[in-house]
Structure 1
Amino acid sequence: MWLGFLISSLGDWLYRLALPLIILEKTGSAYHAATVFGLSFIPWIFFSLLGGSLADNYSKKKILISGNIAAALASSFLIFTLLERTIDFRLLYAAVFVLASVDPLIHPSFQSIIPEITTQDQFASANSAIQMVDNTLSIMGPLLGGSLVAFLGGISALWIDTVSFLATASILIRLPTRTKPLQTTHTLNAMMHAMVVGAKYSLQQKVIFSGSLMFLFTNFALNMFEANFMFYMTKTLNYSVINTTVAMALGGGGALAASLVGSMIVNHFKAGFLLSASTILAGLSTLLLVTSTNYICIGLILAMVSFFGTLNVITYFTLRQRTVPQNILGRVVAVTRMVSYASIPVGSWFGGVLLAHGQSMASVILLAGIIRTLAGLGANLSPLGREK
């Protein structure tokens, strides 16, 4: 699973860098680039519950393999829409939506398979190991991906991303098969009932649900800036793709540091305190982005933001895995992710609208930092803040 996640994440970085650059090159529009970014998170609202129900009722291994094969097909469709001289945005939006729909269908299986292959005292270490892959690539991904995009072009980079899905599927075949058979629900009514049960359980668990609400606001704030980062660096500050990816790589250094010490910190502090404190510190660090336009300084500030953000994620994932029964964990993962991701397309779109109407990036960053800080303060006053 670790190796499959590594390869898949490498492909994701190519996609993350290549797609906005292709759109900016063909349209020069921050609005379209931000809209496509936000659109990729909308499927989480529609398909998360279904993904959670699938994870709790079917083989997680088969879901992960099938999902990566489907993603390879959807990625190929996206590439063909971008090969046209003039982008047909209806086809582009449809292709992005289809490709993005795979993730909410398989992510609950990815998260809930960890308790099947590790013991409870290994949860924090397992989450840190997964985050270490993600955050190592936060350093190497922009540099490697930016170089490939710069030298091979955006379309070639997307083809490599497509191949990464197939490579991941072939590696996941080596995952162990669950020895205890699942009691699967094959009828539509049974699936709907399973989704309703998962949603009710998630809403009743005030600590877990408070955490998802905290992420709802932090994701809104984060993506006001993140969705427009490529536009800001390449169009507003006139940096090259290489300089831009250097800043992103420096930011990934903070995330990597958090993944290396995350399990130790999570096991020595109260989860509620750690979640609220790291959110507040991430918000305050975001405000520092207003103070500099130098790409190195921007990267160092992003490192601080990503350190606290990654610590936040490790803490919440571990808390969720420790407190939620395995037979319903997939659905709880789906519901909480659906809630927390619901604000991403709105935040991305809102940031793009502000820029399109003449607001400065400094204003967007200032607003994002304030919202994230307030989200942490609110979490401290919620049931999450009282969690031990």
Structure 2
Amino acid sequence: MEAVVNTKQEVVSPALWKNRNFLLLWIADLCSSFGLSIFMFSQSWYVVKVMGLEASLGLVFIASSIPRVIFMIIGGAIADRFNKNLIMFISDFTRALVAGALVFWLIFGDVSLWSFVIFAFIFGVLDAFFWPANGGLLPSLINKEQLTRANSIIQMTSQSSFIVGPMLAGAIIALGNYVTTFSITAGLLIVASIAVLLIKVKKKKLGEEEQTEPNLLSSIKEGITYVRQSAFLSALLVFAVLINLFMVGPLQMGLPLFVDNVLKGDSLIFSYLEGTLAGGMLVGSILIGILNIQKKRGLLVIFSVLFAGLIFSLFSQTGNLWQSLIMIGFLGGTFSVINIPIFAAVQSVVKEEMIGRVMSLLSMSSIGLVPVSFAITSGLLSIGVDVTQIMLGGGLLIVAVAILIYWKVTGLRNYN
């Protein structure tokens, strides 16, 4: 039996690269991830260093998160009714135009904090339609048995981009050139939009869509009912909400502040930490792809979250660069171990006609409390709480949540 499994695995991986649609999706994800990593790094560092508005960085993150929450469930219903690659094309191309507009604003205008808030809001709206379509497109392009490795490849590509992207952006910004970084973002998003538009998927017959989904509201309700009836999916919703409440805000907002206040570093040091975080995620993705874990995935995720909370707590107490790099590398590795097995499992068990709505609900639960997390972090910073204390508290709360989930949520704990 083992020999048969190994033979099958050896055949699956090369077959992915012979799949034209998967190859185009991989190119699109590569360019999109690379461009967005440069954009987010440049945006955060511009607000912190050029504008000197550390506590206000949360406004930018909140502006991008709120529209995701509001429109995500609508985006999932639309993804199940229309061509997913067309939705992704419109989103990527529009984001390219937004990045291009920011370039002109930097050259000819006076960029303010509210400029970044507006652009972040637009990105958030587009993300609400992009991610459900992106998550639901992959299962329609490949066989189910290829999903774990395909997700590993996509994750490895994404994390590689988030290693190189911040390092490139940090080097360019060190020379004082933000125009170049945002221009690169626009160019890469244009390439991504073209690649995804070339993907060929079978179109649903109009009559079938009208019969199964008479209107948008009933389609949304159907998706909610579908998730509520699954103990496994419901457990994931609760899990994702709590993790993002306690981790995302302190990590995303705290990292540039940690570099500036604790490590006394510049944009290059910031890029090293972000690159190492992505590098840890890359290594984790490779391990998951090689191991192709099929059993006790729920238990693996819970213990990985527990470990992530401990590592984040230790990271907050580091005082020099090498310690911080080690801790954040391990932290990145746990993220991949948490995300990939569950993501592949959801794609394999959910019905194709429901995948967009299910992915939107999972995504919405993941980011639903992110604006609250950003607001809490900003509030704590504004009243003088040190960023290291915020990170330590978030890490310890993650540990507590993981223990609680193990104790109470049997649907996730027992999932294979």
Instruction: Tell me the TM-score range normalised by the shorter chain.
Output: over 0.9
With normalisation by structure 2, the TM-score equals: 0.87
Q: Give 1:245-264 correspondences, 5 Å limit.
A: 245-264=271-290
Is the counterpart of residue 143 in structure 1 residue 170 in structure 2?
A: no
| AA partner of residue 270 (structure 1) | K
Q: How does 1:193-272 map to 2 (within 5 A)?
A: 193-223=218-248, 224-272=250-298
- Residue of structure 2 in register with 1:99 after alignment: 123
Question: In structure 1, which of residues 339, 343, 349 is the aligned counterpart of residue 375 of structure 2?
Answer: 349
Shift of 1:290: 2.9
Distance in 2 between the 1:114 and 1:86 partners? 38
Deviations 1:64-96 (A, max 9, x none): 11211122223334445556436162x542321
Which whole-Å CA distance do the structure 2 matches of 1:88 and 1:227 have between them? 15
Q: Which runs of 5+ in 2 are unaligned?
A: 1-24
- 1:21 is matched with which residue: 45, 51, 54? 45
Contact (CA 8 Å) 2:33, 2:162: kept in 1 or not? Answer: no
Task: Tell me which amino acid in the other structure corresponds to 2:245.
Answer: F
Query: Which amino acid is 1:209 matched to?
Result: S
Alignment of 1:274-289 (within 5 A): 274-289=300-315
Q: Say whether 1:320 aligns with 2:351.
A: no
Distance 1:154 1:363 in 2: 32
Counterpart residue identity of residue 204, structure 1: Q
SS of 1:31 mapped into structure 2: coil
1:55 to 1:43, Cα distance in 2 relative to 1, 3 A = same
Aligned to 1:375: 401
**Would you say the 8 A contact 1:251–1:300 is kept in 2?**
no
Q: Partner of 1:228: helix, strand, or coil?
A: helix
Query: CA 1:259–1:192 in 2, change beyond 3 Å: closer, same or farther?
Result: same
The answer to whether residue 87 in structure 2 is matched with residue 59 in structure 1 is: no
Q: Distance in 1 between matches of 2:141 and 2:214?
A: 30
Deviation at 1:331, TM superposition (A): 0.2
**1:386 is the counterpart of 2:386:** no
Q: CA deviation at 1:355?
A: 1.9
State the partner residue of 2:12: none
1:6 aligns with 30
Report the secondary structure of 1:148's partner residue. helix
Q: Distance in 1 between matches of 2:133 and 2:110?
A: 39
Q: Which amino acid aligns with 1:259?
A: S
Once residues 317 and 201 of structure 1 are traced to their aligned partners in structure 2, the CA distance between those partners, rounded to angstroms, is: 17
- In the alignment, what sits opposite 2:319? 293
Percent of aligned positions that are identical: 20
Q: Name the amino acid aligned to 2:341.
A: T
| Contact 2:100/2:183 (<8 A) preserved | yes
Deviations 1:22-78 (A, max 9, x none): 222343121211221232121221111111111111111211112111222233344
**CA deviation digits over 1:186-220, x for unaligned, max 9?**
9x970121111112212222211211221212112
| SS of the residue 1:30 aligns to | coil
Q: What letter is aligned with 1:126?
A: A
Tell me the amino acid that sits aligned with residue 306 of structure 2.
I
Cα–Cα, structure 1 residues 101 and 45, in superposed 2: closer, same or farther, change >3 Å? Answer: same
User: Is 1:153 aligned with 2:177?
Assistant: yes
User: Normalization by structure 1: what TM-score?
Assistant: 0.93
- Contact 1:244–1:295 under 8 Å retained in 2: no
Change (3 A) 1:152 1:14: farther
Alpha-carbon distance in 2 for matches of 1:53, 1:290: 40
Q: Please list the CA deviations of residues 217-254 of structure 1 after superposition, one character each: whole Å capped at 9, or x if unmatched.
A: 21122222322211221244320111221122222221
The amino acid across from 2:231 in the alignment is K
Q: 1:290 to 1:25 in 2, by over 3 A?
A: closer
Q: Distance in 1 between matches of 2:128 and 2:236?
A: 19
Q: Name the aligned partner's letter for residue 46 of structure 1.
A: I
Measure, in 2, the Cα distance between the counterparts of 1:231 and 1:204. Answer: 42
CA RMSD of aligned residues (A): 2.2
- Cα shift readout 1:124-172 (whole Å, capped 9, x = no counterpart): 0111111101122232222122113323522331122122211111122
Aligned residue pairs total: 387
The separation in 1 between residues aligned to 2:311 and 2:224, in whole angstroms, is 34
Runs of 5+ in structure 1 lacking a partner?
Answer: none
> What SS is found at the alignment partner of 2:127?
helix
1-structure distance, mates of 2:75, 2:291:
31
Q: Of the candidates 386, 391, 407, which is equivalent to residue 365 of structure 1?
A: 391
What displacement does 1:353 show? 1.9
Q: Would you say the 8 A contact 1:225–1:348 is kept in 2?
A: no
Alignment partner of 1:338: what SS? helix
> 1 CA distance for matches of 2:323 and 2:113?
38
2:72/2:360 contact within 8 Å kept: yes
Q: State the SS of the aligned residue for 2:65.
A: coil
Q: Tell me, yes or no, if the aligned pair for 2:47 and 2:113 is still in contact at 8 Å.
A: no
